[in-house]
Structures are given as C-alpha cells and as structure tokens.
Amino acid sequence: MTLVNRRDVFIEWGDCDPAGIVYYPRYFVFFDNATVSLFAAAGLPKHEMVKAYDIVGFPMVDTGARFSIPSKWGETITIESRISKWKRSSFDVAHRVLKGEDVAIEAWETRVWVGRHPDDPDRIKSQPIPEEVKARFA
C-alpha cells in the first residue's frame, strides 16, 4: 500500500482572481505544500531531511494539471497526494483535488533529489534517492 496524504486547504480571498475563483497558479503553490506535507506524513519533515541527507531539496522539473471543477473563495478543498513513481534520483507525485466526493483537479509533478554540486557549491546536482526514504512510502 502506498502512502496517501490528505490535506485540507481553505480558499482565501487572495487565492482568487476577479471572478472569485482560484487563480490557477495558486494551485501549484498548494501542490508544493502538499508534497512537503506528504514527506512529513512519512516521517520526513523537509527541514530535518535537508540536514539528515545533506540535500538542498527536491525541486520540480515538470508539472501539469487537468482542471475539471473550479474552487471559490470560502470553500475548502482536499488535496490527496502520493508518490506515483520512484526513479534513481527523481520521483513523480500525483495530486487529486477533491470538492466533497468530486475530483476537481488531477495534477502531477516530477521532482529531483538534489545536493550541492561537488565542484561548485553554487550549483546543484542530482543524487540517488536513499532506499530508506523510498521505503517510508510503502
């Protein structure tokens, strides 16, 4: 069974466009926070992981979403997140935004596990994802 994390998000006025619906780039902020919450649910809070594994983080290199139902100011949505695929130094995250029982958005991200480049500390370089990290999501 793969770990699935659920996170409720209350839609604030500042998340919305003049029509009162969530301005689509805000969802990608929600998804970024949901990914961090997913790792925390696996016992890997990001601020501790960065130190424990000597990484810079896991930046996004690809993302997309399919929007079906808009969300509005004052509503609460639920974001379900899970790792859909592990690779050597990258991983895919799947997000589903729910409004009640209805799927409002299906989104995905590809992220890369990175540390400082050994030859230039101002750059980053991908690193293999530790197996013990992957195991926490099983």
Report, as residue numbers or ranges, the catalytic residues. 17
d(CA 99, CA 54): 38
Amino acid at 36: V
128 alpha-carbon distance from chain centroid: 19
Tokens of 58: 């896991």
Contact 80, 98 (CB under 8 A): yes
